[in-house]
Amino acid sequence: MSEATAKQGPDTRARILNAAESLFMTHGFEATSMRMITGQAEVNLAAVNYHFGSKDALIQEVFRRRLTELNRDRLGALEAEEALANGAPLKPSKIVAAFFGVSLKMAADTEHGGATFMRLLGRTYTEPNEFVRQFLAEEYAEVVQRFMSALYRALPDVPREEILWRFHFMMGAMSYAIAGTDALQLFAGDFDDEDPTRLMPRLMSFLLGGLRAPLPEEVIESRAIRRDAA
């Protein structure tokens, strides 16, 4: 049989994953039913359970296929910078650019659904669902550890706890910006769907400004006290 006559479209698995990804983004996990997914994918209702086993397993697979690539790229960008640095500590801006630049690059990819996924991911960071969160943590474990080590080396004078907090804040700013829900309708009608490439320099300025901000007095004081005691 000629390849062109294969029932319809690409294989069922991919059709399901793509439909699920966009529906999860629009409606959330719980509010997206199997019937909505199989309807949009134009496959039979039973196909999800046949190919993935369960709805939860489908959710995991939606994330796994993208996150594997995303985190590989992030590590790749970090390693490229480290290779250039020849063992010297990296500049913080390079580290931040490696992590968030790759994220924003995927968020700008509207061709292959990367943008859809990043918006979904941004929402999922605040998802209460326990098994989703555990899965996210596992997928991120290595990349978080590597980037944190790089930041610790880059900022030896800043307490590690503070670096953790600021990375946390940066993750929040990025997620929110990419998810782009604009729940408060700040951009009332004006810039509803901006070109996401223009987001990159804006976000990067903001993140680096936050990262480089002077430490709060409280922290400085406690460090001064510690230094005095020594």
Partner DNA sequence: ATCCTGTTCAAACGTTCGTTTGAATCATAC
Partner DNA sequence: GTATGATTCAAACGAACGTTTGAACAGGAT
> Which residues of this protein are in contact with a copy of itself, per CB under 8 A?
25-28, 30-31, 122-129, 133, 136-137, 140-141, 144, 148, 161-162, 164-177, 179, 181-187, 191, 198, 201-219
Give yes or no for residue 33 binding DNA (CB under 7 A).
yes
> Among residues 46 and 212, whose Cβ is nearest to a copy of itself?
212
Give yes or no for residue 7 binding DNA (CB under 7 A).
yes
> Among residues 9 and 216, whose Cβ is nearest to a copy of itself?
216
From the CB of 52, what's the least distance to a copy of itself, in Å?
20
Give yes or no for residue 14 binding DNA (CB under 7 A).
no
**Where would I find the H helices in 42-191?**
47-51, 55-85, 92-108, 114-124, 130-154, 160-179
DSSP string, 21-78: HHHHHHH-STT--HHHHHHHHTS-TTHHHHHTSSHHHHHHHHHHHHHHHHHHHHHHHH
- Tell me which of DNA, a copy of itself, none is bound by residue 11, counting a contact when its beta carbon lies within the kind-specific cut-off of 5 to 8 angstroms: DNA
Distance, in Å, from the CA atom of 196 to the CA atom of 107, rounded to the nearest integer, reads: 7
> Among residues 34 and 125, whose Cβ is nearest to a copy of itself?
125
What string marks each residue from 43 to 82 as x (binds DNA by CB under 7 A) or -?
xxxxxxxxx--xxx--------------------------
3 DSSP 8-state letter: G
Question: Which residues lie closer than 8 Å to 8 by C-beta, 6 or more apart?
Answer: 42
Residue 34, Cβ density class (10 Å: 0-12 exposed, 13-18 middle, ≥19 buried): middle
From the CB of 28, what's the least distance to a copy of itself, in Å?
5
- Number of residues lying near DNA (CB under 7 A): 23
- Tell me which of a copy of itself, DNA, none is bound by residue 168, counting a contact when its beta carbon lies within the kind-specific cut-off of 5 to 8 angstroms: a copy of itself
Given candidates 18, 19, 21, 32, which one binds DNA under the rule CB under 7 A? 32
Region from 2-10, 111-119, 144-152, 169-177 binding DNA, contact rule CB under 7 A: 2-10
Q: Which long-range contacts (CB under 8 A, 24 or more apart) does 142-151 make?
A: 142/71, 142/75, 143/71, 143/74, 143/75, 146/75, 146/78, 147/74, 147/78, 147/95, 147/98, 147/99, 150/78, 150/82, 150/90, 150/95, 151/92, 151/95
- Tell me which of DNA, a copy of itself, none is bound by residue 166, counting a contact when its beta carbon lies within the kind-specific cut-off of 5 to 8 angstroms: a copy of itself
Interface contacts to DNA, rule CB under 7 A: 1, 5-7, 11-12, 32-36, 43-51, 54-56
